[in-house]
């Protein structure tokens, strides 16, 4: 299907730059009862989450055991929302043509970085000093680990917002010109200097590439550091070099999953049916398949080394983290992050090349990752004395109480709420990238059929 101008309809309609902006503005401003209802429900749940937090806080910060689920939500935000921009960064780096309707949807999740920064503050009070226990901070710099960890979470949030702002600048300028009301005022404040000169575009391209690189490096480093400081180092005897990499890899898997589910929601209920096509789901499903296989690979690489070694310390850890205390979350994570997405959905071509298939797999993964983060962080907070050399027996699992459930549900609701509010202010589609796509993509006749022609400028 192609327009008279020869532009493909795949993922890039409306087919003129003006239509792109007009349609985008229309979607930004129209808020139906479904949207409003969802915002109210999420707001209420978030408020309940705050109640749960207050209950926990009223019990003090001396005993870290009750805070396990709170920490798990921090790990979950890091793994999902804060990792989601990696999809935009990677796809832009390889100049994938089908990324255009995906990139902003992914990087918009950086707004949750602010929530996670606030969420991290109480955790600082719960992580013990590194003196006398295992730690990545071998040379013990001043403030380690608390100040340095906080700095990483802060930089990640700031860098994410910077990336989002830079990438959204031309679109905010469009809102400044064509929008109205508070949206226009907001856009004018942020994009008053943008005129779209050659120099500004060059700076924009360079800025996105640079900030993307910084964000990627910070994120991977952050996964390694935070997962070690807030989780692994608190379990006596747990020395597992692949764990930080597993945590980061799980972040990449969940990042793709978050983006797929968001695309599905935007397509089904957000009015973006014309922009988001099966191409986007197909492209992302291939990545999801690769990351799901790698999820198993990273897990197995760690597991087989401990299992084979038969060292008593490591055997206790296996029992604690996988086979006894936290068996249920582990089995759920194993099934939902690996077995179900791959064998039920992604292995099969017709499912992989559909809209519902990848969404189902992504939903499995998001739930599985929540179980996995609960397994990791709750286990870390309930392992007993972090200054001991090794676990001498298998500690019991810590089950959630009502405040924990409120915190988990409220936290998740808060993150989604932030995203939903952000899309009212910042276009959730990168209009300028869609417009660029219109210029660089054609459908042309080739002998007796039509072919898509994709141009890739340097």
Partner 1 sequence: MAKRSVLGLFKDADSAANGVDALKGLGISPMDYDILTGMPYPDGAFGEPHTQHKLFVFPLVGAICGLAVAILVTAGTQLSYPMVTGGKPILSVPAMAIISYEATLLGAILFTVLGIIFESRLPRMQLGLYDPRITEGYIGLAVSCDERLLGTTEEALKGAGAEEVKHN
Partner 2 sequence: MQERVELSHRQINQELLAANLKGPRWWWLLVPALVLVVMGAASAAGYMYNRGLGVTGLNRPIFWGIFIVNFVFWIGISHAGVMLSAILRLSHAEWRRPATRAAELLTVFSLMTAAMFPGIIHPGRPWRIYWTFPFDFSRGIWPDVRSALIWDPSAIFTYLTGSTLFVIIALIPDMAVLRDRTTGVKHVIYRFLSLGWRGTPRQWKLQIVAGILLSALLLPVFVSVHSIVSWDFGMAVSVEGWHATIFAPYFVIGAVLSGVAAVVTMMALMRWAFHWEHYIRPEHFDALGRLLIAIALGWFFFFSLEFMFGLYSLEGPEVSLRQMQMFQMPWGALFITFITTAFFIPITLWQFKRVRRNILLMFLISILVNIGMWLERFLIVVPGLMRKQPLTFVWGGYTPSPVEITLVVASFIFVALMVLLFAKVFPLIPLFDIKEGQVLKDEVQVGRVRVPAVMREE
**Which residues sit at the interface with partner 1, rule CB under 8 A?**
303-304, 307-308, 310, 349, 446-449, 451
Alpha-carbon span 109 to 21, nearest angstrom = 22
Sign for the CA dihedral angle at 134, 386, 123, 40 comes to positive
Contact between 304 and partner 2 by CB under 8 A: the answer reads yes
Contact between 457 and partner 2 by CB under 8 A: the answer reads yes
What residues contact residue 129 under an 8 Å CB cut-off, 6+ apart?
Answer: none
Look at residues 368, 370, 296 and name the one whose alpha carbon lies nearest to residue 332. 368
In the complex with partner 2, the residue whose CB is nearer, 62 or 131, is 131
Q: Shortest approach of partner 2 to residue 326 CB, angstroms?
A: 18
Number of residues forming the site for partner 2 (CB under 8 A): 45
CB atoms within 10 A of CB 190: 18
422-to-39, 164, 426, 451 alpha-carbon distances in Å: 12, 11, 6, 38
Given partner 2, partner 1, none, residue 286, with its beta carbon under 5 to 8 Å by kind, binds partner 2
Tokens in use for 28?
Answer: 């930004």
Stretch 2-41 residues interacting with partner 2 (CB under 8 A): 8, 10
In the complex with partner 1, the residue whose CB is nearer, 205 or 446, is 446
Contact between 135 and partner 2 by CB under 8 A: the answer reads yes
Alpha-carbon span 345 to 264, nearest angstrom = 16
Contact between 302 and partner 2 by CB under 8 A: the answer reads yes
Given partner 1, partner 2, none, residue 297, with its beta carbon under 5 to 8 Å by kind, binds partner 2
Contact between 210 and partner 2 by CB under 8 A: the answer reads no
Alpha-carbon span 239 to 225, nearest angstrom = 14
In the complex with partner 1, the residue whose CB is nearer, 293 or 405, is 293
Which of residues 311, 356, 402, 421 is near partner 2 by CB under 8 A? 311
Q: Shortest approach of partner 2 to residue 239 CB, angstroms?
A: 5
Contact between 437 and partner 2 by CB under 8 A: the answer reads no
Question: What is the largest distance, in Å, between two alpha-carbon atoms of the chain?
Answer: 75
Stretch 231-270 residues interacting with partner 2 (CB under 8 A): 239-245
In the complex with partner 2, the residue whose CB is nearer, 119 or 432, is 432
In the complex with partner 2, the residue whose CB is nearer, 67 or 98, is 98
What residues contact residue 275 under an 8 Å CB cut-off, 6+ apart?
Answer: 11, 12, 13, 101, 429, 434
Q: What is the CA radius of gyration of the chain?
A: 23
196, 199, 202, 207 alpha-carbon torsion, rounded to 10° = -90
Residues of the shown chain interacting with partner 2 in the complex, contacts defined by CB under 8 A: 8, 10, 94, 134-136, 138, 217, 220, 224, 239-245, 279, 286, 293, 297-298, 301-302, 304-306, 308-311, 439-442, 444, 446, 451-458
């Amino acid at each position: 299907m192609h327009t008279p101008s020869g532009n493909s309809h795949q993922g890039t309609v409306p087919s003129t730059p003006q239509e792109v902006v007009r349609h985008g503005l229309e979607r930004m401003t129209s808020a139906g009862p479904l949207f409003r209802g969802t915002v109210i429900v999420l707001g209420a749940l978030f408020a309940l989450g705050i109640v749960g937090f207050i209950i926990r806080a009223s019990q003090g910060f001396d005993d870290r055991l009750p805070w396990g689920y709170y920490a798990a939500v921090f790990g979950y935000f890091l793994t999902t929302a804060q990792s989601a921009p990696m999809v935009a960064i990677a796809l832009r780096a390889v100049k994938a043509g089908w990324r255009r309707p995906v990139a902003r949807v992914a990087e918009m999740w950086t707004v949750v970085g602010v929530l996670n920064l606030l969420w991290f503050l109480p955790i600082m009070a719960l992580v013990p000093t590194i003196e006398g226990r295992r730690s990545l901070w071998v040379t013990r710099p001043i403030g380690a680990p608390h100040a340095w960890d906080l700095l990483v979470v802060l930089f990640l949030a700031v860098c994410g917002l910077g990336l989002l702002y830079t990438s959204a600048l031309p679109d905010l300028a469009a809102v400044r010109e064509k929008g109205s009301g508070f949206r226009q005022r907001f856009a004018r404040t942020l994009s008053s200097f943008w005129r779209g000169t050659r120099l500004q575009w060059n700076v924009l391209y360079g800025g996105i590439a640079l900030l993307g690189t910084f964000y990627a490096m910070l994120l991977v480093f952050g996964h390694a550091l935070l997962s070690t400081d807030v989780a692994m180092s608190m379990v006596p005897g747990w020395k597992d070099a692949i764990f930080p990499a597993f945590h980061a890899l799980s972040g990449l898997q969940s990042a793709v999953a978050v983006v797929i589910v968001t695309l599905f929601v935007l397509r089904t209920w957000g009015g973006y049916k014309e922009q988001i096509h099966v191409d986007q789901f197909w492209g992302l499903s291939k990545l999801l398949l690769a990351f799901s296989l790698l999820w198993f690979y990273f897990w197995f690489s760690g597991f087989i080394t401990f299992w084979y070694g038969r060292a008593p310390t490591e055997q206790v850890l296996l029992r604690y983290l996988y086979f006894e205390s936290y068996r249920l979350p582990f089995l759920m994570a194993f099934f939902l992050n690996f077995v179900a997405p791959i064998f039920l959905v992604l292995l099969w071509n017709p499912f992989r090349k559909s809209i519902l298939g990848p969404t189902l797999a992504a939903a499995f993964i998001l739930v599985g990752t929540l179980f996995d983060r609960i397994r990791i962080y709750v286990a870390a907070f309930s392992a007993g004395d972090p200054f001991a050399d090794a676990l001498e027996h298998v500690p019991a699992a810590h089950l959630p109480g009502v405040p924990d459930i409120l915190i988990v549900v409220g936290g998740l609701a808060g993150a989604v709420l932030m995203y939903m509010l952000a899309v009212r202010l910042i276009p959730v589609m990168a209009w300028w990238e869609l417009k660029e796509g219109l210029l660089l993509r054609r459908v042309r006749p080739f002998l007796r059929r039509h072919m898509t022609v994709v141009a890739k400028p340097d």
